[in-house]
Structures are given as structure tokens and as C-alpha cells.
């Protein structure tokens, strides 16, 4: 046992001697000389980084208007004094729905729901903060607007408005889903 301790002690002394011997000669004189020469050279000038232009996000706010690449809807009005020949007229005997108390500018599409049967409903927020679920065939707006189509981002409706000559004319309108920023 004492012999093992003596061997371990002798091995530790040898290892310490080798390590001390390795540190005596650095061997980096050429590297030290190169570093001194490099430090003695004149330093260069680094140009500052250019100013960063911040990106400004743009929100398209005319989503409910006619796209510029779609042809405009032609509304032909006759300037004759004779009575207009129009088969379009609103159903004044039907009970009004809740969303017919608000103009289309007071209504906003805020989302959609899909029923288990696959029917798509639109969620419409009124001016008072109420949320209403509508489907194709419901009415909304003050101009007898009937919903004719619903997609994930848009509600298409057909309004019946006076043509100015005692008759009525259909006018397509839409409500688009607004992005919340």
C-alpha cells in the first residue's frame, strides 16, 4: 500500500516537471513580433453604417369599393318623362330585420362561422357594438340590401335603390373583412 502511494507521488512529480518544462520556452517569438508590427501600422477608418429607413405598413382601406380592374356597373337612366319600366321593387310588406336599421357604412364584417352542415355565416358588427350572424338571403342596410353571397373575406349584397324617376334599380354592394391592427 505504501508502495502504491510512493508510485503515485513519483508519477505526480514527473508530470509536474514535464509541465514546468513546457512553459519555459514559449516558441511564439515570431508570432509576438508579427503582432507588434501589425499594431505599429497606421489604423484604417471604417465608414459608419448607413441610416436605416423604417418600413411603413400600408393598409388598403378601400376594400369595399369596386376593384379598379373590374368594369363599372352600368346604370342606365332614361331622361324621358314617361313612366319608367322597372320590374324591380322592394318588398315593403315583409318585416324588417335588425340590420336594416343601420346604413352599410355603420356595419362592419368581423368574421365568419361555418356550421357542421358546411353552411357559411358572416359575423357583422353594428354601430352599437352588437355582433349579428347573417347568411345568404338575410337583409341588411337601409336600402333593402339582400345578401346574395358570403365568402371568408367578403359579404356580397344587392341593394334596391330609387332611380330618381319613380322606379327602382338594383345596385351590387359588398362588405369586406377588416384587418384589426
The model's pLDDT over 102-118, given as tens digits with 9 standing for 90+, comes to 999 999 999 999 988 88
Q: Which residues face 140 on adjacent strands?
A: 145
Query: Given the DSSP bridges, would you call strands 145-150 and 154-162 parallel, antiparallel or unpaired?
Result: antiparallel
> Of 53-57, 142-146, 171-175, which gets the smallest average pLDDT?
53-57
- Answer yes or no: are the C-beta atoms of 124 and 99 closer than 8 Å: yes
Q: For the chain, what is the mean pLDDT? A: 83
Q: What is the pLDDT of residue 112?
A: 92
Backbone φ and ψ for 97, nearest 5 degrees, come out as -90, 165
pLDDT at 95: 92
Handedness of CA 135, 139, 140, 145 (dihedral sign): positive
Model confidence at 26: pLDDT above 70: no
- Give residue 75's pLDDT band: very low, low, confident or very high (50, 70, 90): low
Task: Give 145's Cβ-side CA count (13 Å radius).
Answer: 25
CB 99 within 8 A of CB 138: yes
| Helix (H) / strand (E) containing 78 | none
Cell numbers describing residue 167: 322606379
- Rounded Cα–Cα distance for residues 74 and 90 (Å): 20
- 49 three-state secondary structure: coil
pLDDT score of 149 more than 60:
yes
Confidence of residue 76 (pLDDT cuts 50, 70, 90): low
Q: Choose between 56 and 23: higher pLDDT.
A: 56
> Does 159 have pLDDT greater than 60?
yes
105/46 Cα distance (integer angstroms): 57
Amino acid at each position: 500500500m505504501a508502495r502504491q502511494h510512493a508510485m503515485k507521488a513519483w508519477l505526480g512529480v514527473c508530470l509536474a516537471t514535464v509541465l514546468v518544462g513546457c512553459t519555459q520556452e514559449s516558441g511564439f517569438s515570431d508570432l509576438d513580433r508579427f503582432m507588434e508590427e501589425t499594431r505599429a501600422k497606421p489604423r484604417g477608418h471604417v465608414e459608419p453604417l448607413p441610416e436605416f429607413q423604417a418600413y411603413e405598413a400600408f393598409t388598403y382601406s378601400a376594400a369595399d369599393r369596386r376593384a379598379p380592374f373590374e368594369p363599372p356597373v352600368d346604370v342606365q337612366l332614361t331622361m324621358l318623362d314617361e313612366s319608367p319600366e322597372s320590374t324591380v321593387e322592394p318588398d315593403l310588406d315583409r318585416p324588417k330585420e335588425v340590420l336594416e336599421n343601420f346604413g352599410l357604412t355603420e356595419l362592419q364584417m368581423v368574421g365568419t362561422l361555418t356550421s357542421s352542415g358546411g353552411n357559411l355565416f358572416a359575423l357583422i358588427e353594428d354601430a352599437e357594438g352588437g355582433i349579428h350572424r347573417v347568411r345568404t338571403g338575410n337583409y341588411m342596410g337601409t336600402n333593402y340590401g339582400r345578401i346574395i353571397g358570403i365568402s371568408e373575406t367578403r359579404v356580397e349584397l344587392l341593394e334596391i335603390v330609387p332611380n330618381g324617376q319613380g322606379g327602382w334599380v338594383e345596385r351590387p354592394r359588398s362588405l369586406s373583412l377588416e384587418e384589426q391592427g
